[in-house]
Amino acid sequence: QVTVLHTQIRDKDTTREDFVFYSDRLMRLIMEEGLAHLPTEDIDVMTPTGVAYKGAAPCKGICGVSIMRAGESMEQALRETCRGARIGKILIQRNEDSSEKAPDARYNYAKCPKDIAERQVLLMDPMLATGGSAIKAMEMLINQFGCKEENIMFLNVVASPEGIETFCARFPNTRVITSAIDECMNEHKYIVPGLGDFGDRYFGTN
């Protein structure tokens, strides 16, 4: 099923409406997989038959943090699966003129709930190429907001092998959930085969 969805969103001839539809389906699967890895605590509830059921509940509250702009596309999947989940925003502007397309420190912004350090954090960005933006977002969450590395999970649609390696080397205690690791990056630091600019195709700005 994941391959079927990827086939639709990677096709250059897919319409924007279909791209959004199939991307939303795929991101819902990614979100569900991420939630399955969050820690839980035992809890008993009483069923209508009068017999207790030994179940589970999340140990902590959940906060999604989207890396703007493309990461905002994953917020709907979070809202559909986590009622009342808080959502923070991080803006990281890349320097497109640099060879590594590294984050430009002059244009960073973050707005997160005050109690985010006490929550499980789901960092969301559909594309992981060099890893620069995701690493910068992690540094901001840890250094500015006091989040613990092990309490952050990175949710992603498509990653490059280089990006995964760089990110995991920097944050070995953060779990990464992705639906695809592509072949490589090209000389322009674009993921190949990739799917183009996710944000442009999703929001209709290409």
Q: For position 59, what pLDDT does the model report?
A: 87
Cα 127 to Cα 112: distance, rounded to the nearest angstrom: 21
pLDDT category of residue 94 using cuts at 50, 70 and 90 = low
4-46: pLDDT as tens digits: 999 999 999 999 999 999 999 999 999 999 999 999 999 999 9
Q: For position 13, what pLDDT does the model report?
A: 96
Q: For position 83, what pLDDT does the model report?
A: 86
pLDDT category of residue 110 using cuts at 50, 70 and 90 = very high
Q: What is the pTM of this model?
A: 0.91
Cα 89 to Cα 94: distance, rounded to the nearest angstrom: 16
Q: How far is CA 132 from CA 5, 22, 51, 62, 139, in A?
A: 27, 27, 52, 24, 11
151-202: pLDDT as tens digits: 999 999 999 999 999 999 999 999 999 999 999 999 989 999 999 999 999 9
Q: How far is CA 49 from CA 45, 52, 78, 126, 203, in A?
A: 11, 9, 32, 44, 48
Question: Among all chains, which residue has been given the structure tokens 């990677």?
Answer: 10
Q: For position 108, what pLDDT does the model report?
A: 80
Q: For position 109, what pLDDT does the model report?
A: 87
